[in-house]
């Protein structure tokens, strides 16, 4: 919407200039008298400057719609070609949490732009062979789910508990330093379809026509090799494998092996979001498979060069040099969430990008993931769609001023209880504690649990719930920034 408004303003400015130019010309030509007096030279004002933009290629998770939000920028998609798994699709086929590569232009305001092309490819699609805690195995790949994982509406309970061994799922995610996929998006698919796997070729055996991706053996003896352009399949190739059956030893029988090529251009500014998967030094590391270097002029946001390390999530912005390395102009550290809230909306100010729940001010930005999991299922969901009384789930970071910087905001169906999870700020040792500025009261009905959900006494709980410990409180909102807990539980810091 903002992009369209800016275009309209620019159009009006040009029309106004042309109208002014016509008036000036008419005055110069017809405004003099017949008495032969000297005509004052007319100065024609310069035209208003055209809005400028920068060609960009950006890779990251989709955080919202109404156009497409990627890496904090809203890209208008009216003229964009959108591709998903090698098919041309509509914007409505994309989902929050999917990692895409987008080429287009970014306006000088830094927060709006226009997409020419958006490409989405899942990292793995296949049956779940095991589930252990927050870890899944799919086609030999270790999938880790965490607080940032978005579950599609077709996953029961919108959580890991809605998945079972044998379910076919599609996963988008970032690679960590172990080569595991840290899932940003999981969708349940119908069995009987095609399986897909993207990864790096290892242990190539040309004689037996096999190679491995992670712990999955691939038999490519009958596969079509695409986009190799005369080059040979080799260890280190990044490929996409498609197949639908397995051999006697569990090998995936490939029907197609496609060489994946880089979409990054030396002519574009490049933005890459992901985990630092390899770290040698602050001037030599990888983000989502892309080699990165920093310089003395690199700007750091929400962190320092000394904070760079394996598995730290960052967004890197810069340009590609002649050696194919991303030279970072800016490195932004992605904020780690420490607070979760589920409660009804007290008030909202969409102009400021803020909502108030449980008496806490929630601040959203262009990088906040926005999703509607209520029965309304609004795809182009933003703060304009929220009303007082709507039930929200918010995840974010507690700032020094007491506000919550939201990394994720979801609208859910109404619940009769509110909850808050965060670090204990104070504890009277008897019956009251404070979490993220919310006072938690207890009564004779309050139940207490440790992190394994084992029952505790009130005294045991308050002895353990010291300052800095993660606690979840669930109950009734009884006053502004006050909740009377039905349940209190110690939480693991995950």
Do 312 and 333 form a contact (C-beta atoms < 8 A)? Answer: yes
Q: Determine, yes or no, domain membership for 88.
A: no
- Integer Cα distance of 295 and 299 in angstroms: 9
Name residues whose C-beta falls within 8 Å of residue 104's C-beta, 6 or more positions apart in sequence: 55, 56, 75, 80, 113, 114, 115, 116, 117
Alpha carbon 111 to its chain centroid, in Å, reads 15
- The CATH number given to whatever domain includes residue 238 is 2.40.50
Query: Which of 17, 33, 51 is the last residue in one of the domains?
Result: 51
Determine phi and psi for 334, rounding to 5 degrees.
-80, 130
Do 298 and 246 lie in a common domain? no
Same domain, 350 and 406: yes
- Of 412, 431, 452, the residue that ends a domain is 412
Query: What is the tally of structural domains in the chain?
Result: 6
Please name which of 296, 294, 299, 297 lies closest in space to residue 327, comparing C-alpha atoms: 294
Q: pLDDT tens digits, residue range 44-57?
A: 666 655 558 899 99
In a shared domain, residues 345 and 400: yes
Q: Is residue 466 part of a domain?
A: yes
Q: Which pLDDT does position 45 carry in this prediction?
A: 62
Would you say residue 87 lies in a domain? no
Q: Same structural domain for residues 387 and 429?
A: no
Same domain membership, residue 188 and residue 228 = no
Question: Are 388 and 430 within one domain?
Answer: no
Q: Mean pLDDT, consecutive 10-residue segments, the chain of 494 residues?
A: 40 43 45 46 58 89 93 95 93 95 95 96 96 96 94 90 96 96 96 94 97 97 92 94 97 96 79 96 94 97 96 96 94 91 96 96 93 90 95 95 95 95 95 96 96 94 95 96 97 72
222 belongs to a structural domain: yes
With left for phi above 0 and alpha for psi between -120 and 50, is residue 344 left, alpha or beta?
beta
- Residue 425: inside a domain, yes or no? yes
Asked if 427 and 486 sit in the same domain, the reply is yes
In a domain, 473, yes or no: yes
Answer whether residue 56 is part of any domain.
no
Considering the domain architecture, whether residues 211 and 171 belong to the same structural domain is answered as no
Q: What is the CATH number of the domain that holds 155?
A: 2.40.50.140
Q: Which residues contact 438 (CB under 8 A, 6 or more apart)?
A: 358, 359, 360, 420, 473, 481, 482, 483
Pairing type for strands 369-372 and 326-333 reads: unpaired
Q: Indicate the residue among 368, 385, 412 that finishes a domain.
A: 412
Q: Does 456 lie in the same domain as 437?
A: yes
Predicted local distance difference test score (pLDDT) of residue 20: 41
Residue 314's pLDDT is 97
Which domain, by its residues, includes 138?
A: 124-193
- The sign one gets for the Cα dihedral 352, 421, 367, 170 is negative
Structural domain contains residue 78: no
Q: Quick one: 367 and 429 in the same domain?
A: no
pLDDT of residue 207: 96
The CATH number given to whatever domain includes residue 397 is 2.40.50.320
């Amino acid at each position: 919407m903002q992009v369209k408004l800016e275009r309209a303003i620019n159009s009006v400015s040009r029309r106004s200039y042309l109208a002014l130019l016509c008036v000036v010309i008419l005055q110069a030509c017809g405004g003099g008298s017949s008495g032969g007096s000297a005509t004052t030279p007319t100065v024609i004002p310069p035209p208003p400057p055209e809005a400028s933009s920068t060609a960009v290629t950006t890779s990251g998770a989709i955080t919202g719609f109404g156009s497409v939000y990627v890496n904090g920028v809203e890209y208008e998609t009216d003229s964009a070609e959108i591709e998903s798994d090698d098919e041309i699709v509509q914007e409505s086929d994309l989902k929050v949490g999917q990692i895409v590569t987008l080429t287009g232009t970014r306006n000088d305001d830094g927060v709006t732009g226009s997409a020419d092309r958006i490409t989405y490819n899942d990292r793995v699609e296949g049956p779940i062979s095991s589930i252990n805690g927050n870890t899944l195995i799919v086609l030999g790949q270790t999938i880790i789910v965490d607080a940032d994982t978005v579950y599609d509406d077709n996953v029961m309970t919108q959580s890991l508990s809605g998945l079972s061994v044998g379910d076919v799922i599609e996963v988008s995610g970032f690679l960590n330093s172990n080569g595991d996929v840290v899932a940003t998006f999981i969708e349940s698919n119908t069995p009987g379809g095609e399986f897909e796997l993207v990864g790096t070729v290892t242990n190539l055996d040309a004689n037996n026509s096999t190679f491995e991706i992670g712990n999955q053996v691939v038999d490519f003896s009958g596969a079509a090799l695409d986009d190799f352009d005369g080059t040979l399949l080799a260890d280190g190739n990044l490929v996409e494998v498609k197949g639908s059956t397995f051999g006697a030893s569990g090998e995936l029988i490939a029907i197609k092996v496609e060489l994946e090529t880089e979409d990054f251009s030396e002519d574009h500014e490049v933005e890459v979001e992901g985990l630092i998967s390899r770290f040698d030094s602050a001037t030599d590391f990888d983000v989502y498979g892309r080699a990165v270097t920093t310089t003395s002029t690199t700007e750091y946001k929400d962190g320092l060069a000394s904070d760079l390390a394996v598995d730290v999530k960052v967004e890197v912005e810069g340009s590609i040099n002649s050696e194919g390395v991303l030279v970072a102009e800016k490195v932004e550290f992605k904020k780690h969430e420490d607070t979760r809230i589920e409660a009804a909306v007290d008030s909202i100010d969409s102009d400021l990008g803020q909502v108030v729940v449980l008496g806490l001010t929630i601040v959203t930005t262009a990088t906040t993931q926005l999703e509607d999991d209520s029965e309304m299922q609004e795809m182009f969901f933003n703060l304009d769609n929220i009303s007082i009384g709507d039930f929200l789930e918010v995840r974010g970071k507690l700032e020094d001023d007491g506000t919550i910087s939201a990394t994720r905001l979801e609208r859910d169906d109404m619940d009769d209880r509110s909850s808050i999870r965060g670090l204990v700020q104070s504890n009277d040792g008897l019956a009251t504690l404070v979490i993220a500025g919310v006072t938690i009261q207890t009564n004779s009905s309050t139940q207490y649990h440790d992190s394994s959900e084992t029952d505790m006494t009130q005294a045991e709980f308050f002895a353990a719930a010291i300052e800095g410990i993660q606690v979840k409180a669930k109950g009734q909102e009884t006053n502004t920034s006050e909740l009377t807990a039905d349940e209190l539980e110690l939480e693991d810091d995950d």
